[in-house]
Amino acid sequence: MAATTHKLLWGAYEHITTSFFGTTSELLSPNDSILYDDNNMYLHDSNNENSIYAMENNDIDYSRHLASGKEDLGVNATHISYEDLYASIIFFACIYVGGQIASRLLRMPSLVGEIFVGILLGPNLAAYVPHPISYVMLGEIGLILLVIEAGIDIDLTTLKLIGSRGLIIAIIGSILPIALALVIALAIGTDTKGAIAAGACFGPTSLGIAMNILRQGKIVNTPVGQLIVSAAVIDDMIALIILSQLGALAGDATVAAIVIPIVSALGFLIIGGAIAVTILPRFLDRYFFGRIKKENHGQAGLALMFLILFAMMPATYYAKSSFLMGAFLSGLVFCNNHAVHVRFVSQFKRILQWLMRIFFAASVSLTCLLTSYVTLL
């Protein structure tokens, strides 16, 4: 009876700790007990008499131990300190206030204020933000969701109206900045690799920034908005190809290292895009949505879209293309499905707003190396 009660209590304890503090890495088994001696040494006592050992206080990672009645000891589990938690809340509040000041008082896009807050509180200046890499990861997740939304928001009718003229404008808008940067870099004496790198820096149009501004201006679904989104996708593809060529030139240049990124990017954009807007929608309407009640189309389609995303992201990444291309194509499959569009917006609108605030304040600002800029100046 005592053993059964002990196991039940252990199960409840493990459920609570994993629910509130995340998965534990080295939790004791239900048959183990926790002992402390008079010298504040941690003893692990199991049923095996030979498996008793001690850990000195200095060997304990205090930031990952739960409170155990003694301030300096506890079970090995993920735990966030109060100071880090409080700093995170203050950081979120400052991001929001900075965005509001930029949009309402300065009449600028809110992302300007969010980027400024990230630089100000980031590791380069105030160093107030705890665990910056965590916020960068959250921001990147937000960017993936935004790219999915960009794919869903593509209006094929509007793109047809834009036609080849829009495609030419998008390509010129991508190549011209790269060519200008390349020429300027070569003119000031930069070597070939440095000039290519400079061109790659000028080429991309940030889809995250573009979509944020287009959404605030409510012009995403206008011909101009669709043209900008298309140009941003093509920009990313061209910049990725240039960076891949730069990487190949930096190492041992091989035919595969040069050709594969080009073929992969063009293949996913042209062939993958054609499949996403022509073949897959008809196939899904016939064999998937046709067997589901109409009121469940949005929920089922959203689940299917994420399954496609889970397959397309690694496929594009390991094929030397951009994983954002995989996210874009996953959303593009459902660009004509109103139910999925409505479901996505209703489920992710608020969380996407906050993740994008974090993206601009963290992924853009916290990764800026201001000391390098100062050194260059």
Q: pLDDT grade, residue 327 (50/70/90)?
A: very high
Does residue 13 have a pLDDT over 70? no
User: What integer pLDDT is reported at residue 169 of this predicted model?
Assistant: 74
Question: Which residues lie across from 55 on neighbouring strands?
Answer: 42
Residue 350 is encoded by which pair of tokens? 């608020």
**What dihedral angle (degrees, nearest 10) is formed by the CA atoms of 9, 12, 16, 22?**
100
Amino acid at 105: L
**Sign of the CA dihedral 93, 96, 99, 101?**
negative
What does the alpha-carbon distance between residue 116 and residue 124 come to, in Å, rounded to a whole number? Answer: 12
Q: pLDDT grade, residue 150 (50/70/90)?
A: confident
Question: Which residues lie across from 65 on neighbouring strands?
Answer: 76
Q: Does CATH place domain 137-360 in 3.40.640.10?
A: no
Own/partner contacts of 170-174, CB < 8 Å, gap of 24 or more, are 170/227, 170/230, 170/231, 170/234, 170/235, 171/234, 173/205, 173/231, 173/235, 174/203, 174/205, 174/231, 174/234, 174/235, 174/238, 174/239
What does the alpha-carbon distance between residue 334 and residue 316 come to, in Å, rounded to a whole number? Answer: 19
pLDDT digit string, tens, across residues 114-146: 999 999 998 888 889 998 899 999 999 998 998
Range of 30-39, 152-161, 361-370 with top mean pLDDT: 152-161
pLDDT digit string, tens, across residues 200-230: 777 666 666 777 788 777 787 787 887 777 7
Backbone angles phi, psi at 81, to 5 degrees: -70, 160
What does the alpha-carbon distance between residue 71 and residue 65 come to, in Å, rounded to a whole number? Answer: 10
Query: Which pTM was predicted?
Result: 0.70
Q: pLDDT grade, residue 196 (50/70/90)?
A: confident
Place of tokens 């006592």: 45
So where are the chain's domains? 2-64, 82-130, 137-360
Helix axes 338-358, 82-100, angle to 10 degrees: 110
What does the alpha-carbon distance between residue 126 and residue 145 come to, in Å, rounded to a whole number? Answer: 30
